[in-house]
Chains A and B, each alone.
Chain A
Amino acid sequence: MTEKVDTSGIEDQVIDSGELGTPDASPQIGQGRKRKEDAKLVTGQTTWTDNIMFPGMLHFAVLRSPMAHARISRVDVRPALDRPGVHAAFSGADLAAELGSLPCAWPVTTDMVAPAHPPIATDEVRYVGDAVAVVVARDRYAAADALEAIEVDYDPLPAVTDMEEALKDEVLVHADKGTNRCFVWPMESGEVDAAFDGAPVVVQRRFIQQRLIPTAMEPRAVVVAPIAAAEEFTLYSATQIPHVLRVMLALTTGIPEQKIRVVAPDVGGGFGSKLDVYAEEVIAMILAKRLGRPVKWTESRSEGYQTTIHGRDQIQDIAIAADRDGRIRGLKVDIKADMGAYLQLITPGIPLLGAQMFPGIYKMDAYRFTCTGVFTTKTPTDAYRGAGRPEATFAIERIMDELAVELGMDPVELRRRNWIRHEEFPYTTIAGHTYDTGDYEAATDKALALFDYDGLRREQQQRRDRRDPVQLGIGVSTYTEACGWAPSRILGSLSYAGGGWERASIRMLPTGKVEVVTGTTPHGQGHVTCWSQIAADALGVPFEDVEVIHGDTRSSPMGWDTYGSRSVSVGGVAVHKAAERVIEKARTMAAHLLEASEDDIEFDKGTFRVKGSPEATKTIQELALATFAAHDFPTDFEPNINADYVYDPENFSYPHGTHLCAVEVDTETGFPTIRSYVCVDDVGTVINPMIVEGQIHGGIAQGIGQALFEEAIYDAAGNLVTGTMVDYLVPSAADLPSFVTDRTETPATSNPLGVKGAGEAGAIAATPAVVNAVIDAIRHLGVTDVRMPCTPERVWRALQDGSDGGDRAAGGTVAYGGAQTATTAGGAQ
């Protein structure tokens, strides 16, 4: 059966057409290849969810609670039905049975308080923005109008917005639960009391991680297209997690999983805020099911500020004990983390992602950590870029500077005395993580040189000496992070409901071109380009010949999606592994066609050769074509060289780096200006340096945003007073400096590519570097802390009275305009 037959027909046609690809030996990994993603993005040919239109599509709008906490005594949607173009309107009670409860996938303790989370409130609203009713209409204008006709009566209940107030349990967010304490999660390692008792130096601080609004530029949107008769549903959503979402929608709505297809089309940024299962996704499914028509919902920015998850929001009490020579003895951390009113997908787990990271890159004898999750009548929190690790890094890097002051030691020197030396890797930290590789000395030395650390210190002294109204400060942040989410067994041990593997599938097309199907779901990260580089290198095909398919559960049926800087170190490795499988299958085919033993077949850069007969070759493309035609293949060989790989990482990955920031503070106004910013990051092997640099830039910008600009503020009644982009300040190009970036490359040993991940590093590292610099500029004037964001007013107040600058006033009304504007008076032109 295996004798040779004449190749003809399709094979000849392909070969004659000149379409059959040829090997490409040029290395791709490490090259700054321009992005394949960009052509559609720079020409406006992108498919954002809100761009999707279907015949007969209806739009829905959500009526939201204007009160932070109230009983709903009456909802009457009937007046809305009389408005033109309205197809349907529903209260929460109308849909309760079908909508179910939104999922939380991370019960962090066995006794965690997990309240029901109806997508539309039925009896009680618990934050401003909580959904109360929906209207479905012919277009978005008609839906917005009809919303105003719905009548709701609320019986106000007291709001509780402050975590420490909430922990008194005087005002309960969920009365049936009897407490606002969601969970208490402790860990301890080493002899903590011994480390602190008799320690020559103990420094204790309280840091506030303000609440942040992720603000991906694309607002959330969802479209559901049903085939009513078949009870099939395709859901398009601006989501980071189509695969997770599909499972969760099946579990939440009861619609069978195989009847649900989820598509994440082009997604305009996420930063964790689209790592969730949202009320509107479930509502859209149920409305499409009920009405048998495609439905769409798109949030407005101000609506999203109330209802898309927020990030951070912790009170951190931290104490560090050290010897006089600077050696750290122990660390105690007690944090309170604001859950908001409900638990979203991984809300309770977010602060715990930082639990093991407070010790940072430092060696110490003992560590104690406790986290208390707290319910308040505010928008739920969940993952925001870094998720738990920026909080941990901020606390340790801030207190290292405070300890350095206490010891009269240079902050870099203090770090040097405590960090894990490069020859000590792999190193198991006091918190239990085993860092595989790193070279903190190399990164720091490089950064110090680029920054001109000594020169800036001299200038700082000169400015102090001459009492210059503009003072100079230097901030240091030597960070590491645990990313590459995650070994599934570890996730299981942490009570997380999901896994952490990733899948790749490689399809060799008849013309020798390649399709890579990935389970990662990029929304700006450049996976199409990077996965093409990985596959091209492994297969020896041209970069241009590779296409990457993602974000659709029909074409990419399995995956755990994109977050936690996991994509390259899990998903990218899966691509590499799948390519190796392709080569192994192709080797069998090559041996057969070249009439050699498999053991004698060598593969190099796209070409299979018989050892000792260099002229006897088959290219990977020729083998793809030969397998497609399948006229001639070995007995017992499945005529196919495509391959899948599901890769479960053996460890987290640990990027690290040193960020240095110089800030000038105008002591007359308090205005801080970043004068220079240098970072040297080690993200392991770099697939595409251009893309890595871009990730670092963007992360730093968000880290600076937290340090200087951004803060979600609630008033005592529970109104989000930074409810629009007028008041929640996202920095523009004019508000940020240029960054000097560089790298060291210490490959990870936990995966075959040596990659570590780069998505969150900047956001994790930058915030403490900037805040340390602000404080360093004015410490000699009596300032020991400035609360984030370090607004000019806070800096000025700290200079006046040595405080941390205090709360920003949250009185008054929700504003639009330059001053407080409840409504506008006449005369506007």
Chain B
Amino acid sequence: MARVQMTVDGIRYDDEVEPRLLLVHYLRDRLGLVGTPVGCDTSNCGSCTVLLDKRSAKSCTVLAVQADGAQITTIQGLADGEWHPMQQAFKETHALQCGYCTPGMILAAVDLLQENPTPSDEEIRHGLEGNLCRCTGYQNIVTAVRTAAAEMGTQA
């Protein structure tokens, strides 16, 4: 067993874990933060994306022990009282259907905009290439990110 300490969605946790425990299973099975789903076992689909020290990471491809000392934001901690503009934009532009990819897609998109606040459609598409969606065909997701970018640009 190994000791890990991390802050998840603003709460500090201190736990003993098996070294092999995946971060996503730590979040889901130990902390009960089931808002972060698992969609594959090869790091392709991005459903499990969280922000790890403010940057997107696939939590199925990170051991919990690797996140020792980290600050983690899941979809459940993204809203700060009010929804994040990205959450709002996803709803407004119908950028989700079944919603399974949505937590990861939203966090990947949040990361994308902190890297590039005014992306072109092409840059949005490439910025989200690690997050698969089987429902939307992505077009409305691109619109959502563009919409959120405009909204966040206005706020800034």
Binding site for B on A (CB under 8 A): 34-35, 37-46, 48, 50-51, 53, 139-141, 215-219, 266-269, 271, 300-302, 523-526, 690-691, 693-695, 697-702, 724-726, 730, 732-736, 738-739, 762, 816
Which of A141, A217, A691, A736 has the most chain B CB atoms closer than 10 A to its own CB? Answer: A217
In Å, the complex CA distance between A526 and B96 comes to 10
**Contact of B140 with A by CB under 8 A:** yes
A43 touches B142 (CB 8 A): no
A526 touches B132 (CB 8 A): no
Task: Tell me which residues across on chain A come within 8 A of B103, comparing CB atoms.
Answer: 44
In Å, the complex CA distance between A53 and B124 comes to 37
Using CB atoms, name the residue of chain B closest to A302: B41
Using CB atoms, name the residue of chain B closest to A730: B132
In Å, the complex CA distance between A724 and B39 comes to 11
B139 touches A268 (CB 8 A): no
**Contact of B134 with A by CB under 8 A:** yes
The A/B interface has a contact count, at CB < 8 Å, of 183
A690 touches B137 (CB 8 A): no
Task: Tell me which residues across on chain A come within 8 A of B20, comparing CB atoms.
Answer: 141
B41 touches A268 (CB 8 A): no
Task: Tell me which residues across on chain B come within 8 A of A139, comparing CB atoms.
Answer: 29
Cβ distance B11 to chain A, nearest Cβ, rounded Å: 15
Task: Tell me which residues across on chain A come within 8 A of B18, comparing CB atoms.
Answer: 141
Given A34-B92, A734-B125, A217 contacting B45 (CB threshold 8 A): yes
Given A43-B35, A50-B37, A526 contacting B97 (CB threshold 8 A): yes
A41 touches B102 (CB 8 A): yes
In Å, the complex CA distance between A702 and B132 comes to 12
In Å, the complex CA distance between A522 and B133 comes to 17
A218 touches B39 (CB 8 A): yes
In Å, the complex CA distance between A53 and B44 comes to 27
A701's partner among B90, B101, B137, B142 (CB-CB below 8 A) is B137
Task: Tell me which residues across on chain A come within 8 A of B106, comparing CB atoms.
Answer: 42
Task: Tell me which residues across on chain B come within 8 A of A39, comparing CB atoms.
Answer: 91
**Contact of B156 with A by CB under 8 A:** no
A43 touches B83 (CB 8 A): yes
B37's partner among A38, A48, A816 (CB-CB below 8 A) is A48
Cβ distance B61 to chain A, nearest Cβ, rounded Å: 12
B39's partner among A217, A690, A700 (CB-CB below 8 A) is A217
A268 touches B100 (CB 8 A): yes
**Contact of B150 with A by CB under 8 A:** no
B139 touches A738 (CB 8 A): yes
Chain B residues 7 to 45 lying within 8 A of chain A, measured CB to CB, are 18, 20-21, 25, 28-29, 32-42, 44-45
A44 touches B100 (CB 8 A): no
A694's partner among B29, B34, B130, B136 (CB-CB below 8 A) is B136
Which of B44, B74, B140 has the most chain A CB atoms closer than 10 A to its own CB? Answer: B44
Using CB atoms, name the residue of chain A closest to B102: A41
Which of B20, B129, B135 has the most chain A CB atoms closer than 10 A to its own CB? Answer: B135
Task: Tell me which residues across on chain A come within 8 A of B92, comparing CB atoms.
Answer: 34
Cβ distance B46 to chain A, nearest Cβ, rounded Å: 9
In Å, the complex CA distance between A391 and B101 comes to 28
Using CB atoms, name the residue of chain A closest to B45: A725
In the complex, 21 of the A-B residue pairs with CB atoms within 8 angstroms, ordered by the A residue number, are: A34-B91, A34-B92, A42-B91, A43-B76, A44-B33, A44-B76, A51-B37, A139-B29, A217-B39, A217-B132, A301-B45, A694-B140, A697-B138, A725-B132, A732-B132, A733-B124, A734-B125, A735-B129, A736-B138, A738-B139, A738-B142
In Å, the complex CA distance between A43 and B140 comes to 18
In Å, the complex CA distance between A514 and B112 comes to 41
Given A46-B35, A48-B34, A697-B140, A217 contacting B90 (CB threshold 8 A): no
B45 touches A524 (CB 8 A): no
Apart from the given pairs A45-B76, A268-B98, A691-B94, 6 other A-B contacts in the complex at a CB distance below 8 Å: A43-B75, A44-B35, A140-B25, A269-B135, A697-B140, A725-B132
In Å, the complex CA distance between A414 and B21 comes to 61
B140 touches A219 (CB 8 A): no
Task: Tell me which residues across on chain B come within 8 A of A725, comparing CB atoms.
Answer: 40, 42, 44-45, 132
Using CB atoms, name the residue of chain B closest to A298: B38
Task: Tell me which residues across on chain A come within 8 A of B102, comparing CB atoms.
Answer: 41-42
Task: Tell me which residues across on chain B come within 8 A of A50, comparing CB atoms.
Answer: 28, 34, 37-38
Cβ distance B136 to chain A, nearest Cβ, rounded Å: 5
In Å, the complex CA distance between A53 and B142 comes to 35
Given A217-B45, A732-B129, A732-B130, A266 contacting B99 (CB threshold 8 A): yes
Using CB atoms, name the residue of chain B closest to A48: B37
Given A697-B136, A697-B140, A698-B136, A42 contacting B90 (CB threshold 8 A): yes
B134 touches A41 (CB 8 A): no
Using CB atoms, name the residue of chain B closest to A38: B91
Task: Tell me which residues across on chain A come within 8 A of B94, comparing CB atoms.
Answer: 34-35, 690-691, 693-694
A697's partner among B21, B29, B99, B139 (CB-CB below 8 A) is B139
8 smallest CB-CB distances across A and B, nearest first, come from A44-B35, A268-B100, A524-B98, A41-B99, A701-B137, A697-B137, A44-B75, A524-B97
Which of A37, A42, A216, A267 has the most chain B CB atoms closer than 10 A to its own CB? Answer: A42
Cβ distance B119 to chain A, nearest Cβ, rounded Å: 12
Residues of B contacting A: mostly: loop
Task: Tell me which residues across on chain A come within 8 A of B32, comparing CB atoms.
Answer: 53
A46 touches B99 (CB 8 A): yes
Task: Tell me which residues across on chain A come within 8 A of B140, comparing CB atoms.
Answer: 694, 697
B138's partner among A42, A266, A733 (CB-CB below 8 A) is A733
Contact with A along B99-117 (1 / 0, CB 8 A): 1111100100000000000
Cβ distance B142 to chain A, nearest Cβ, rounded Å: 7
Task: Tell me which residues across on chain A come within 8 A of B35, comparing CB atoms.
Answer: 43-46
A734's partner among B87, B99, B128, B136 (CB-CB below 8 A) is B128
B91 touches A35 (CB 8 A): yes
Cβ distance B24 to chain A, nearest Cβ, rounded Å: 11
B36 touches A44 (CB 8 A): yes
Cβ distance A603 to chain B, nearest Cβ, rounded Å: 33
In Å, the complex CA distance between A229 and B33 comes to 32
B87 touches A301 (CB 8 A): no
A700 touches B137 (CB 8 A): yes
B42 touches A726 (CB 8 A): yes
Cβ distance A814 to chain B, nearest Cβ, rounded Å: 12
In Å, the complex CA distance between A736 and B33 comes to 32
A525 touches B39 (CB 8 A): no
B45 touches A698 (CB 8 A): no
Cβ distance A757 to chain B, nearest Cβ, rounded Å: 16
B40 touches A724 (CB 8 A): yes
In Å, the complex CA distance between A772 and B28 comes to 46
Given A35-B94, A43-B35, A697-B137, A217 contacting B129 (CB threshold 8 A): no
Cβ distance A205 to chain B, nearest Cβ, rounded Å: 29
A698 touches B134 (CB 8 A): yes
Using CB atoms, name the residue of chain B closest to A762: B137
In Å, the complex CA distance between A140 and B41 comes to 14
**Contact of B131 with A by CB under 8 A:** yes
Given A524-B135, A733-B142, A48 contacting B126 (CB threshold 8 A): no
Cβ distance A670 to chain B, nearest Cβ, rounded Å: 22
A738's partner among B21, B44, B45, B121 (CB-CB below 8 A) is B121
Task: Tell me which residues across on chain B come within 8 A of A34, comparing CB atoms.
Answer: 91-92, 94
In Å, the complex CA distance between A730 and B44 comes to 9
**Contact of B79 with A by CB under 8 A:** yes
B41's partner among A691, A699, A724, A762 (CB-CB below 8 A) is A724
B129's partner among A268, A691, A734 (CB-CB below 8 A) is A734
In Å, the complex CA distance between A348 and B125 comes to 39
A698 touches B137 (CB 8 A): yes
In Å, the complex CA distance between A733 and B20 comes to 32
Task: Tell me which residues across on chain B come within 8 A of A51, comparing CB atoms.
Answer: 28, 34, 37
**Contact of B47 with A by CB under 8 A:** yes
B138 touches A701 (CB 8 A): yes
